[in-house]
Each structure stands twice: as structure tokens, then as C-alpha cells.
């Protein structure tokens, strides 16, 4: 029975893979409805942006299934860091195939040979304008990895040409970004053809609903304090919501418990953190040292972590405001930034925008704070005991 429950928990929480069913897309129904209405009904292009772990891939996969059910062909490919416009777009045309263009195989091959000879925005748009059967949506995932500015400019021109030609093909760009302008820079004449869908943190009520609904489906129940702790730790991140909840449930299952309390959650987050540690040993060691040394109040570290978790980039002013809100002297902000600087990257000297190199890290920093707060009740540092395991 325990093995079956464990298997069910892993499947339902789905912490390590995107969801593809609308009923599993907790907290994103508004974004899904907006995307569907704009791309399918209004024939617009779209940009989906947000931090890693915010559910971009899950959103676009569920959208793809809904689009397919409505007779729209969806082609999903990933962008590479290099490559020119032709290398990016020609594979999409190959994937569409001759049927959508109403062509025989040899006619399609001849048309594609011309495009390959000169893969420009106009030649690609002209080819896509020949689609005469189903509408087609081309999803360009990991668009933030596209580094060539000239190619991005050609993509912007392609959007305009497709709209001017009233093509049945639409483009959806997906990437890690805090602002749509950082992901794709388009001219004012093109913006009216594009819908921007930014993925903000999931609302607390939706986080709680997901945890309660999914845990109850496997025969477990989180008490109020445990639920509040998980909600506080995940900071609206779909990835952390699933991961931390899953391992909390697995701890309860292994102890043959039907109820999960805060101790169960703390045990679960320690296990989840051990998995993350294998991919980021540097930040794990940094966070453990920072919390254990007691140089800064835990409330200050928590304010830092939550500020970073709720946005892709943040500024010293954002941190100072967060520290002041906890009653901590904002004057310690430079020292706290310095202490965490090995984990920070993408610094802009002019605007002083800050970000964690590992965008999944802030929530794990919060788990260190949570375990240390619990340790004050027992007099034994859980962080020290974890390192000895």
C-alpha cells in the first residue's frame, strides 16, 4: 500500500516534469484563457516570459493540447544559443510538411529548396502565407538563449510580415525574462500584433488549494501550520510548490502517517534540498554557512530570499524596503549583498540590478532559515546535523 501511495504521490505532484492537463495547471487559468483567446481567436502572436520554475513550459503544453483539440497544428521546438535566422526557422517549415500547404511532396521540396537558398524573413513569411488548411502555431521555447541581435531583428520583421499577409501561422516565444522587452525587442508597429503573458508568482490561495487537493488525493492531510509553512517557503513558485509538497508527503508516507505537520514539512524540505545540493553545492554551502554563523538576523536573510524569489531581478532599494518592513536596519543591506555575492550574477553596474545565478536558489535559502528557526526550539542546529549525514 505504501509503495502504491508513493507512486501515486510522485505522479500527481509531478515535481520534475511539466504538466499537460488543464486540471493540473493550478493558478494559471487566467493566463491560459488570455493566451488561448489572443492566439487562437484573435490570430495574434504571443510572448510568454517569467523566471525558471514559473510554469512557462506547463502553460504552453496545456495551450498546445487545447489548440490541437480546436484543429490548430502546434509545432514545438527549442531555440539554440547560436545559429542564424535560417537555422532557427527552416526546421519549423520542415515540421509543418507539405499537407498543410496543400502541396505534393515534390512541390514542397522544391519550395523549401528556394527558402533554404535565401532564408530571409520575407521568404519564410511568404512560405508560411501559403498555408491553406489548418491554422499553425510555432512555439519557440527557450527564446532567451537566442543571442544574435540580427536574428532577433529578423524575427520582429517576420512577425510584421505574417500579420500583413494575414498568414494562418502565429508565433509564440517562451523564455526566461523579467520583462518582455528583455526577451524580444520589437518595433512599435509590431507590438499591436503581440500579446505579452508574464507569469507572476501563483497566489497563496492557489498554492494552498493545490497542496490540499493533491495531498487529499493520496490520502494525506496537511494541518494548518504545515500548510502555512509550505506556502511561505514556495513564494508562489509552481516548481517549489510541487517539489517541497511531494517530499513532505513522501516523508509522511514512509512514517505511515495520514497527517503532515510542520516537522513533516521540515523533513521533506531537507530531502528536497539534498537533491538541489547535487546541482548547486556552492550555494548550498554558502547558505548553510550564512545561516549558521548568525552574522545577520534570520528575518533579514528571509527578507532577502523572499525579495529574490518574487521577482527575476531586484535592486538594493528593493532589499532596503524589505529589510525595513521586517524592522531590520536597512544599513546592513550592503553587507548582506556582499555575503551572498558568490551566488549573485547578472549584475548591472549602472542600475545595480541583482539576480541569483540559480533562480531556484532563493526558496532553498528560505528552507535553511526554516530549519534553523525550528532548531531554536530544540537547541540543536539542524543544519549542522544535516552536514554530518
Instruction: Report CA-CA distances (Å) from 327 to 37, 206, 290, 299, 324.
Output: 45, 29, 20, 9, 5
pLDDT of residue 50: 85
- Among 11, 1, 359, CA closest to 217: 11
To which H or E segment does residue 73 belong?
strand 73-78
Nearest of 316, 342, 344, 340 to residue 330 by alpha carbon: 316
Left, alpha or beta for 219 (phi > 0: left; psi -120 to 50: alpha)? left
88-141 per-position pLDDT tens digit: 999 999 999 999 999 999 999 999 999 999 999 999 999 999 998 789 999 998
Residue in this structure with the C-alpha cell 494548518, named with its chain if needed: 224
Q: In this predicted structure, which of 71-80, 177-186, 289-298 has the lowest mean pLDDT?
A: 177-186
Given this model, what pLDDT does residue 381 score? 43
Q: Residue 267: its pLDDT value, please?
A: 96
- The pLDDT of residue 1 is 60
As a whole number, the mean pLDDT across the chain is 88
- Is the pLDDT at 301 greater than 70? The verdict is yes
The per-residue pLDDT for range 324-353, each reduced to its tens digit, is: 999 999 999 999 999 999 999 865 556 678
Angle between helices 224-234 and 361-378 (to 10 degrees): 140
Q: Got the DSSP string for 107-151? A: HHHHHHHHHHHS--HHHHHHHHTT--SS-EEEEEETGGG---HHH
- The mean pLDDT of 150-176, rounded to a whole number, is 91
Share of the chain above pLDDT 70, in %: 89
Reduced to 3 states (helix: H, G, I; strand: E, B; else coil), residue 220 is coil
How does residue 184 score in pLDDT terms, banded at 50, 70 and 90? confident
**What pLDDT shows up at residue 363?**
97
Q: Beta 136-141 vs 169-176: how paired, if at all?
A: parallel
- Cα radius of gyration rounded to whole Å, the chain: 24
Q: What is the mean pLDDT of residues 221-244?
A: 94
Q: Rounded mean pLDDT of 301-311?
A: 93
Q: For 383, how many CA atoms within 13 A lie in the half-sphere containing its CB?
A: 23
Q: What is the pLDDT of residue 375?
A: 79
Beta strands per DSSP E along 147-186:
169-176
Question: What's the Cα-to-Cα distance from 114 to each of 79, 110, 318, 336, rounded to whole Å?
Answer: 23, 7, 53, 58
Q: How many CB atoms lie under 10 A from the CB of residue 29?
A: 12
Cβ proximity of 60 and 76 under 8 Å: yes
pLDDT of residue 190: 78
Q: Does pLDDT of 376 surpass 80?
A: no
Instruction: Return the C-alpha cell found at 61.
Output: 503544453
In this model, does residue 161 exceed pLDDT 80? yes
Is the per-residue pLDDT at 143 higher than 50?
yes
Residue 80 scores a pLDDT above 80: no
Say if CB 224 and CB 261 are below 8 A apart: no
Span 36-78, pLDDT tens digits: 999 999 999 999 988 877 888 889 989 999 999 999 999 998 8
Per-residue pLDDT of 250-287, as tens digits, reads: 999 998 889 999 999 999 999 999 999 999 999 999 99
The pLDDT of residue 379 is 45
Q: pLDDT-derived band of residue 382, with 50, 70 and 90 as boundaries?
A: very low
pLDDT at 355 over 80: yes
- Residue whose C-alpha cell is 527578507: 303
pTM of the model: 0.81
340 φ/ψ angles, rounded to the nearest 5 degrees: -100, 5
User: Is residue 265 within 8 Å of residue 230, measured between CB atoms?
Assistant: yes
CB 274 within 8 A of CB 345: no
| Contact between residue 295 and residue 311 where contact means Cβ atoms under 8 Å apart | no
Q: What is the pLDDT of residue 175?
A: 87
Question: How many angstroms separate the CA atoms of 365 and 336, rounded?
Answer: 13
- Concatenating the DSSP letter of every residue in 290-303 gives HHHHTSS-HHHHHH
Q: Which residues make Cβ contacts (< 8 Å) with residue 86, sequence separation at least 6?
A: 116, 119
pLDDT score of 81 more than 70: no
List CB contacts of 210: < 8 A, sequence separation 6 or more: 26, 27, 241, 242, 245
> Nine-digit cell at 250?
513522501
Amino acid at each position: 500500500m505504501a509503495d502504491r501511495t508513493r507512486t501515486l504521490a510522485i505522479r500527481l505532484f509531478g515535481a520534475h516534469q511539466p504538466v499537460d492537463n488543464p486540471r493540473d495547471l493550478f493558478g494559471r487559468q487566467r493566463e491560459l484563457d488570455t493566451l488561448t483567446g489572443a492566439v487562437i481567436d484573435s490570430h495574434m502572436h504571443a510572448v510568454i516570459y517569467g523566471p525558471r520554475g514559473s510554469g512557462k513550459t506547463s502553460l504552453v503544453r496545456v495551450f498546445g493540447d487545447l489548440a490541437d483539440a480546436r484543429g490548430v497544428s502546434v509545432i514545438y521546438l527549442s531555440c539554440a544559443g547560436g545559429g542564424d535566422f535560417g537555422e532557427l526557422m527552416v526546421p519549423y517549415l520542415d515540421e509543418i510538411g507539405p499537407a498543410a500547404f496543400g502541396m505534393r511532396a515534390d512541390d514542397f521540396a522544391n519550395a523549401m529548396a528556394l527558402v533554404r537558398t535565401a532564408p530571409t524573413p520575407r521568404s519564410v513569411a511568404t512560405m508560411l502565407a501559403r498555408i491553406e488548411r489548418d491554422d499553425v502555431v510555432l512555439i519557440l521555447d527557450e527564446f532567451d538563449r537566442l543571442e544574435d541581435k540580427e536574428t532577433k531583428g529578423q524575427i520582429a520583421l517576420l512577425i510584421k510580415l505574417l500579420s500583413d499577409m494575414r498568414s494562418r501561422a502565429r508565433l509564440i516565444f517562451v523564455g526566461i525574462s523579467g520583462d518582455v522587452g528583455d526577451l524580444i525587442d520589437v518595433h512599435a508597429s509590431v507590438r499591436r500584433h503581440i500579446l505579452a503573458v508574464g507569469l507572476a508568482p501563483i497566489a497563496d490561495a492557489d498554492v494552498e488549494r493545490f497542496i490540499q487537493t493533491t495531498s487529499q488525493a493520496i490520502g494525506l492531510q496537511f494541518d494548518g501550520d504545515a500548510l502555512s509553512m509550505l506556502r511561505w517557503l514556495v513564494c508562489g513558485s509552481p516548481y517549489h510548490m510541487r517539489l517541497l509538497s511531494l517530499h513532505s508527503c513522501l516523508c509522511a508516507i514512509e512514517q505511515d502517517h495520514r497527517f503532515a505537520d510542520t516537522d513533516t514539512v521540515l523533513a521533506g524540505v531537507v530531502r528536497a534540498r539534498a537533491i538541489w545540493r547535487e546541482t548547486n553545492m556552492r550555494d548550498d554551502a554558502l547558505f548553510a554557512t550564512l545561516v549558521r554563523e548568525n552574522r545577520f538576523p534570520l528575518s533579514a536573510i528571509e527578507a532577502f530570499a523572499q525579495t529574490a524569489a518574487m521577482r527575476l531581478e531586484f535592486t538594493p532599494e528593493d532589499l532596503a524596503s524589505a529589510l525595513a518592513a521586517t524592522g531590520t536596519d536597512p544599513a546592513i543591506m550592503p553587507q548582506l549583498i556582499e555575503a551572498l555575492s558568490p551566488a549573485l550574477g547578472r549584475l548591472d553596474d549602472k542600475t545595480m540590478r541583482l539576480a541569483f545565478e540559480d533562480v531556484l536558489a532563493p526558496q532553498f535559502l528560505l528552507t535553511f532559515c526554516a530549519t534553523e528557526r525550528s532548531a531554536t526550539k530544540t537547541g540543536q542546529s539542524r543544519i549542522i546535523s544535516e552536514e554530518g549525514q
